Structure 1
Amino acid sequence: MSITDRVSQVYSSKNNQELIANYDRWAEEYDQDFTGDGDYVSLQKVAEIALKRIPKSAKILDAAAGTGLVGKRLYQEGYRHLVAIDMSQEMLNKARQKNVYSELYQQVLGEPLDFSSNSFDANINVGVFTYNHAPSHAFDELIRITKPEGYIIFTMRPDFYESSQDFQAKMANLESSGQWQLIERGDKYYSHPNTNQKTPVEIWTYQVK
């Protein structure tokens, strides 16, 4: 199954149980699918933003970490206090093998997260705020567990954002209510320029108030 087919499959998941099952099945081939063309641009883009905003001593949550590709990239840049969560245990098993996370937990974005308030200096979320994945109210918990002045950094497809009045309203309401502030909405880019996936992505950076 091609990466395009895999993405279509997870995007069409009808509930979390189906989504978990789809990611469990994908876990063995996930790294090869995403890095096999040698150019998964999101890893470099997210690392650049982290290096610009987040000190190396920061405790960072990699939320929906998958197999740990983002954590591995951050670790290569010198970040050593990385915690991973993902809904798929099979994905977490692959992430554990990379030996870059101090802690890994099976948790689901959109449900209460088992962390104290103000636990993290930042959290990074790549590929999770999209079709039939984490709901917009997941931002509430991410804000709760992030320290004031900490950062929430996430990727989002422009077509998803433009078509989702729910996400637009939630993100705007969190800002107007003083819970976070938009620092940067990055330029559009292609996460896999060497493949036939030509849907652009943006990286959003918010600072918790």
Structure 2
Amino acid sequence: MASYSEEDMKEAQREFSLLIEKGLDNDTVIKRFDLISDKYDMVLGVMEYKLPKWVGDNLASLYPGNKERVNILDVAAGTGLVSVEMRKHGFTHIDGLDPSEGMLAQAKKNNLYDRYICDILADNTLDIADNTYTVVTVVGFSSEFFKILPVKALEELVRVTKSGGRILMSHFEYIFESEVLRDNLSNLQDRGLWKLEDKKIMAETVKGINGHLYIYKVMTK
């Protein structure tokens, strides 16, 4: 584990608080991620952020073989922390989607994605063909965005995922308590677009906060 100074720890806690501040609009959140992009990995390292490794390990359990045939879209890709963990397990075909140009620029430095898609998952249609990916991961999506993620955004995740493919969504426990998010996740299940295959809980995904992982299987289209 990396060693951080007391100054690093204070800065990381301050920057992390700014990223999860409530009541911000999309443009403000994206600008904050742009500004912090060059020190984002340090901030999450100080916070002992475990979601990327947890998702990578779970994905490897779901796809133990033929990893070269698994095409992945990493939503809220950021600097590529989830891609790093997936690549450790042998996954190589990974695209990244994130609205922050600064964050994607950091990922490019380490060649972590095949395609870098600067876009937001919201009410818009993504520039991605239907049935492109075997797996879509959504890990640590900006809290203010994720807890009110609209039905259209979830439909987009299903649209770009192949029938029988999986969508892994992981975030802090309290985010999944959002009534809007719960209702919208249930909406797609009620309509037969996906099925909740598994739900897992991990203690201390960052200091003092538990995490959840929802694994959805996309139904036959």
Is the contact between residue 65 and residue 86 of structure 1 (CA under 8 Å) also seen in structure 2? yes
Is the contact between residue 120 and residue 146 of structure 1 (CA under 8 Å) also seen in structure 2? yes
How far, CA to CA, are the matches of 1:2 and 1:102 in structure 2?
Answer: 32
How far, CA to CA, are the matches of 1:203 and 1:189 in structure 2?
Answer: 11
Is the contact between residue 24 and residue 144 of structure 2 (CA under 8 Å) also seen in structure 1? no
Q: Which residue of 2 aligns with 1:165?
A: 179
Instruction: Give the Å deviation of 1:36.
Output: 4.4
SS of 1:191's equivalent? strand
How far, CA to CA, are the matches of 1:21 and 1:129 in structure 2?
Answer: 12
Change (3 A) 1:191 1:158: closer
Is the contact between residue 13 and residue 43 of structure 2 (CA under 8 Å) also seen in structure 1? no
Out of 195, 206, 213, the residue aligned to residue 181 of structure 1 is 195
Q: Does 1:45 align with 2:54?
A: yes
More helix by share: 2
SS of 2:182's equivalent? helix
How far, CA to CA, are the matches of 2:20 and 2:182 in structure 1?
Answer: 19
TM-score (norm 2): 0.85
Structure 2 residue identity aligned to 1:151 = R
Structure 2 residue identity aligned to 1:93 = A
SS of 1:112's equivalent? coil
**Percent of aligned positions with the same letter in both sequences?**
25
Gaps of 5+ in 2: 1-9
Out of 146, 159, 174, the residue aligned to residue 161 of structure 2 is 146
Out of 96, 101, 117, the residue aligned to residue 108 of structure 2 is 96
- Render the CA deviation track for 1:61-109: whole Å, top value 9, x for unaligned: 0111000011011112111100011000000000111112111110101
Is the contact between residue 12 and residue 43 of structure 2 (CA under 8 Å) also seen in structure 1? yes
SS of 1:143's equivalent? helix
Out of 18, 30, 35, the residue aligned to residue 9 of structure 1 is 18
Q: Does 1:136 align with 2:150?
A: yes
Gaps of 5+ in 1: none
SS of 2:113's equivalent? coil
TM-score (norm 1): 0.90
Q: Which residue of 2 aligns with 1:75?
A: 87
SS of 1:161's equivalent? helix
Instruction: Give the Å deviation of 1:168.
Output: 1.1
Change (3 A) 1:129 1:19: closer
